[in-house]
Amino acid sequence: MENNINDDNAPKTCEYDPNVNQDELIKAQEKQIAEEIKANTAMVGSLDGLSSLEEEYSNDPVYSSKVKTLLPKFSNVRRTRPDGNCFLRGFIFAYLEYCIHHRDELVRFKKYLESSKEELFEIGFPKFTTEDFHDMFMEVVSDLEGSGSIDRVEAVCNDAGTSDYLVVYLRLLISAHLQKNAEFFSFFIEGGRTVEEFCKQEVEPMYRECDHLHIVALTAAVGVGVRVMYLDRGEGDALVSHDFPEDKEPIIHLLYRPGHYDILYKA
Amino acid sequence: MANIAIQRIKREFKEVIKSDEAQKCAINVELVGDDYRELRGEIAGPPDTPYEGATFQLEIKVPETYPFNPPKVKFVTKIWHPNISSVTGAICLDILKDQWAAAMTLRTVLLSLQALLAAAEPDDPQDAVVAKQFKENHPLFLETAQYWSHVHAGVPKGNSEFSKKVRRLMDMGVGEHQALVALSSCNWDMDRAIEQLFS
């Protein structure tokens, strides 16, 4: 180590340069990482066997033994882009896929979507843009009513503009649900913030990760059951799972790994 | 630029132009070039503030990823305000950073900036010198901000004492804006301003 101190050839990237704006440097690096992720992963990837998860953890005894317990129950996984929208994109994809196989659910969802617009206006979201996001979602659902195939769902969820608009609309639905039930949700918000402040900071901005509260609000608002399987370093071999809402039969299964959600397919 | 960004910004452009606020000349937006990547915004200084009667020009750059990321906005017109850099015009405002949401529009941005002029947040400053004056010598801050509105943003009247001090420095060969900055940041103390300029 001592030799390095006097080594003129050693990289000096860690030196503090007061003439450089450190915030700007950090931002630039964050942007670069985000762009790499964008270039290398699809918003919603292809259907992979669960064995691909096993391979990921071949050198990790804790995770690999946990993945094994998933095997009898689940057959496939579909990875989502880790850009902070992964829960919402996973939810949209899995739900639309469910809907093309369950037409009555698609009809119910369309009705819900139609009525949701007015609710968002009541909360105070601007008509001008909210209508845009709403119309895009309606268009997607109507299109699936006619030509509902998994290819269409894949195309819609991987088209940047469309996919992001759907994500934004879900963010608005979550925010509206939290604000309408502010009295209840205020008990769960940390940092002395109001529900409205929480929504402005953690729900409405794009790329903000979804946490428990977001999931509780979304599943309650849309009326769709989601089961999340938690793959982490917690004790025991079995994965902890949680159903949102607790009393509803889940139709969507997601795999949670710290900071990220992917879609799971039941065997 | 992505199609979705262009479509959105075109419609937002019209929304601003047709807005009630634009009719009252409180906000406005113009094209720079013909591709909607860059716009020139304009806001009127709110009444009962040191910016009353002033007009501020803004540079608005629309990113490829709009509306999922915020527009990049800065003041072109020089302004004395705790949350706006007196040097670069850079703005410290939550919705232009991490609290931007895709449901917001150019109109939201312009109105929020106008609101920022009426309600500064000195505890979250962009310009530390201005923020210090704002908190420690508020009457002088108000006078200084008003004087900047006079010099840079089209307000007819300004403090005549300040004018004299600026003129004296200009007689010593200092540029007008340089003199204004030195005096403003030294609480209009002539000796300190001279020391800062010539040391």
Residue A47 DSSP label? E
pLDDT digits (tens, 9 = 90+) for B97-151: 999 999 999 999 999 999 999 999 999 999 999 999 999 999 999 999 999 999 9
Two structure tokens written together for A182: 């502010």
pTM: 0.87
For B117, B125, B181, the CA distances from A206, given in Å and listed in that order, are 27, 25, 39
Two structure tokens written together for A188: 């769960």
Length, in residues, of chain A: 267
Residue A12 reports pLDDT greater than 80: no
Residue among B137, B190, B134 nearest B164 (CA): B190
Interface check for A124 against chain B (CB to CB < 8 A): the answer is: no
Residue B182 reports pLDDT greater than 50: yes
pLDDT value of position B23: 82
Confidence of residue A7 (pLDDT cuts 50, 70, 90): very low
Q: What percent of chain A has pLDDT over 90?
A: 73
pLDDT value of position B52: 97
pLDDT value of position B27: 94
Count the neighbouring beta carbons within 10 Å of the beta carbon of residue A182. Answer: 14
Residue among A215, A228, A218, A224 nearest A255 (CA): A228
Q: Which residue has the higher pLDDT, A15 or B90?
A: B90
**Dist. CA A155–CA A159, nearest whole Å:** 6
DSSP string, B78-140: ---BTTB-TTT-BB--GGGTTT--TT--HHHHHHHHHHHHHS--TTS-S-HHHHHHHHH-HHH
Domains and their CATH numbers in chain B: 3-118 (3.10.110.10), 128-198 (no CATH)
Residue of chain A whose alpha carbon sits nearest to that of B5: A161
Q: Are A128 and A180 in contact (CB under 8 A)?
A: no
A-chain CB neighbours of B102 within 8 Å are: 129, 133, 164, 168, 206
pLDDT digits (tens, 9 = 90+) for A90-119: 999 999 999 999 999 999 999 999 999 999
Nearest by CB to A128, from B15, B99, B101: name it: B15
Burial group, residue A138, by CB count within 10 angstroms (0-12, 13-18, 19+) = middle
Q: Which residue has the higher pLDDT, A234 or B27?
A: B27
Bridge pairing between strands B38-44 and B27-32:
antiparallel
pLDDT value of position A230: 94
Nearest by CB to B99, from A160, A165, A200: name it: A200
Which residues, in sequence order, are CB contacts of A90 under 8 Å at separation 6+?
A44, A78, A80, A252, A254, A261, A262, A263
Confidence of residue A135 (pLDDT cuts 50, 70, 90): very high
pLDDT value of position A225: 97
Which residues, in sequence order, are CB contacts of B97 under 8 Å at separation 6+?
B70
pLDDT value of position B181: 96
Fold of the domain spanning A79-223: 3 helical TM bundles of succinate and fumarate reductases (1.20.1300)
Residue of chain B whose alpha carbon sits nearest to that of A126: B103
pLDDT digits (tens, 9 = 90+) for A18-54: 677 777 788 888 888 888 888 888 999 999 999 999 9
B53-B54-B57-B63 Cα dihedral, nearest 10 degrees: -70
Residue A9 reports pLDDT greater than 80: no
pLDDT digits (tens, 9 = 90+) for B84-110: 999 999 999 999 999 999 999 999 999
Kindly report the average pLDDT of chain A as a whole number. Answer: 90
The active-site residue, picked from B27, B29, B60, B92, is: B92
- Hey, where are the domains in chain A? 79-223
pLDDT value of position A36: 84
CA dihedral over A83, A88, A94, A97, signed as positive or negative = negative
Residue among A228, A224, A232, A256 nearest A242 (CA): A228
For B47, B78, B80, B159, B197, the CA distances from B190, given in Å and listed in that order, are 31, 22, 19, 15, 10
- Report the pLDDT averaged over residues A190-213: 95
Reported in sequence order, the residue ranges of A180-259 that DSSP labels E, i.e. its strands, are 226-230, 240-244, 252-257
Nearest by CB to B102, from A200, A201, A206: name it: A206
Residue of chain A whose alpha carbon sits nearest to that of B14: A128
pLDDT value of position A37: 80
A-chain CB neighbours of B13 within 8 Å are: none
Bridge pairing between strands B38-44 and A74-80:
unpaired
Alpha carbon B99 to its chain centroid, in Å, reads 20
Residue A2 reports pLDDT greater than 50: no
pLDDT value of position A13: 53
- Report the pLDDT averaged over residues A55-75: 90
Alpha carbon A192 to its chain centroid, in Å, reads 25
Q: What percent of chain B has pLDDT over 90?
A: 86
Which ipTM was obtained for this model? 0.84
Bridge pairing between strands A226-230 and A252-257:
parallel
- Report the pLDDT averaged over residues A201-221: 96
Burial group, residue B34, by CB count within 10 angstroms (0-12, 13-18, 19+) = exposed
